[in-house]
Amino acid sequence: MPGARLEGVAASEGVAVGPAFVHAPDELEPQRTGIAEGEVEAELERFRGAIEAVVAQISEARDALSESGSEEAEILDAHVEFAGDPELHSEVEERVRNLESPEAAVLAVGEEFAGLFAGMEDEYMAARADDVRDVTSQIAAQLMGLRSSGLAGLAVPSVVLARNLAPSETARMPREMVLGLVTAEGSKTSHVSIMARSMGIPAVVGVGAEALERALGAGIVAVHGDDGYVVTDPDADEVAFFEGEQAEAATERAALEAYRHVEARTHGGRRIEVAANLGSPKEAADALSWGAEGVGLFRTEFLFMERDELPTEEEQYGVYREVAEAFGEKPVIIRTIDVGGDKDLPGVSGHEEENPFLGWRGIRMSLDVPDLFRPQLRAILRAAAHGNLKVMFPMVSSVEEFVEARCLLAECREELEREGAETGPVEAGVMVETPAAALCADELAREVDFFSIGTNDLTQYALAVDRGNEKLEKLYRADHPAVLKLIEMTCRAAEKAGIQTGVCGEAAGDPALAPKLVALGVTELSMSPPAIPRAKKIISELP
């Protein structure tokens, strides 16, 4: 439709105008679903061979990336790990022994694993479902002798239109030929968005299947990655507008370079710490390169998912020590496991819940399962000897919950000292993500060492709006007066008690919201690493 405007999610900043390239791969279906009993061993060998081939392909794509520490390279590292995951192998092999074809088995198991992630409350972890589907689809395609036409054949710089893009497809596309990306599906934390930001490609995701279908016949497409919209077949005036936006964006990017490694201070000299949200220690180098002054949120869920048994204390210690050493004296806040009651963890007996995100999750689960919680606390205390670690408890709704967790932390320290293990000092704080925590902030502030406001959950709980419900998207606003009042209450209580208040939700990296948060009394903003230079610039311009 000429001149049609498609609204979506602003996934990667920048603007682009160019010819449309429609990427529409066929839906992968197994060529057969069953095998004969005498074929089992041969099919198992084929499955193992397909794993080896896919690992080699992913590794080749990863090695071809220009920056060895880049975010997209780390995503492919994770794909290699998942392709070699013993639980994936055992689940598929069990199905094959029950006479299911390996291609059907791997797609089915992949969908099961993807479902575990897709249902997670943490948006970053939920978006990992696409990565699981990507890897298992590659294995199934290898088994069926299929090769993806992919985007490698792009011969003219174009704007790519697609239902969705797998990380493997995004990594292999020729960057110089991709002016922009538009997808029907996706969120700001899906890997197509992460990789687009890392590659500096303007992207708008989540425009919807119906809207994308209307755009497929366009000759030229204009993408506004800052404001989250797309224009099909723009007229001369619209093209001129986008070209002007491109020039301004280039000037701004150059100006932001000066803010990467400066301390963020307002005109009045007020110091605001700008930190990074991380999902694994592999992301540390990239965060530091963007100027992160610490880690405001280190997610630990990746350690507990996709496995037959809980991670050992030693395994967790190694991960926490790695990120602590990477940041040195800079503070690293580790959030204890926040897996909802809809997830079955190995060795943890759950129960079916009608609304798991208002149920047995976060600190509630941890306090009920000491065998889950104590090894994590011990690992954090040990790793603190190698850096500046803090621990943060999620989903706290009462002072009693925090006091119980803090007492358990103290018990773990005493145990380690009796064992002669080296430990370090660890401040203990809470995520303020329930309205109850914000309303009890005065009482909590007298007990905790810091607050960190999780605006994503706080917003949906305060407004009774599911942030994943597209029909309610316009109602989900972190700048709603009710949400801002809860944030202000928390900041006032923290200031009175002399403790820090950070924000580690999406609002922290929002240029429009950051000034409001600072004005309310927030002392730390933690965000996606590429957003750090702009946040520092915004802070430096505040009175």
DSSP codes joined into one string, 515-535: HHHHHHT--EEEE-GGGHHHH
SS3 of residue 452 by DSSP: strand
Secondary structure, 3-state, 251-304: HHHHHHHHHCCCCCECCCCCECEEEEEECCHHHHHHHHHCCCCCEEEECCHHHC
Total residues found in the chain within this entry: 543
SS3 of residue 312 by DSSP: coil
Domains located in the chain, CATH noted:
5-24+149-235 (3.50.30.10), 37-143 (1.10.274.10), 258-540 (3.20.20.60)
DSSP string, 394-405: SS--SHHHHHHH
- The H or E element that residue 224 is part of is strand 220-224
Q: Give the contacts of 465 (CB within 8 A, at least 6 positions apart).
A: 459, 472, 475, 476
Q: Give the contacts of 411 (CB within 8 A, at least 6 positions apart).
A: none
Half-sphere exposure of 453 (CA within 13 A, CB side): 38
User: How far, in Å, CA of 94 to CA of 386, rounded?
Assistant: 43
Q: Which pLDDT belongs to residue 430?
A: 98
- The H or E element that residue 5 is part of is strand 5-7
Residue pair 223/181 in contact (Cβ under 8 Å)? The answer is yes
Token couple for 205: 């995701």
State the angle between helix axes of 532-540 and 236-256 in degrees (0 to 180), rounded to the nearest 10. 80
Q: Which pLDDT belongs to residue 146?
A: 63
Tokens 């290699």 identify what position? 80
User: How far, in Å, CA of 94 to CA of 102, rounded?
Assistant: 10
Residue pair 319/303 in contact (Cβ under 8 Å)? The answer is yes
Q: Which pLDDT belongs to residue 32?
A: 84
Catalytically annotated residues: 191, 504
**Nearest-CA neighbor of 453 among 388, 520, 408?**
520
User: How far, in Å, CA of 168 to CA of 165, rounded?
Assistant: 8
Q: What is the pLDDT of residues 439-491, one digit of tens each?
A: 999 999 999 999 999 998 899 999 998 766 667 767 888 999 999 999 999 99
User: How far, in Å, CA of 331 to CA of 390, rounded?
Assistant: 7
Q: Which pLDDT belongs to residue 70?
A: 52
Q: Which pLDDT belongs to residue 230?
A: 94
Is the model's pTM score more than 0.95? Answer: no
362: left (phi over 0), alpha (psi -120 to 50) or beta: left
Q: Give the contacts of 90 (CB within 8 A, at least 6 positions apart).
A: 308
Q: Which pLDDT belongs to residue 68?
A: 39
Token couple for 239: 């093209």
The long-range contacts involving 28-31, CB below 8 angstroms and separated by at least 24 positions, are 28/107, 28/137, 28/140, 28/141, 28/146, 30/101, 30/103, 30/104, 30/107, 30/140, 30/144, 31/101, 31/103, 31/144
Residues forming beta bridges with residue 297, ordered by sequence position = 277
Q: Which pLDDT belongs to residue 69?
A: 42
**Core vs surface per residue 472-511: b (16+ CB within 10 A) or e:** eeeebbbeeeebbebbbbbbbbbeebebbbbbbbbbbbbe
**Which residues of the chain have a pLDDT value below 70?**
1-3, 24-28, 60-75, 121-124, 127, 146-153, 167-168, 171-172, 189, 198, 306, 340-347, 349-354, 356-357, 467-470, 473
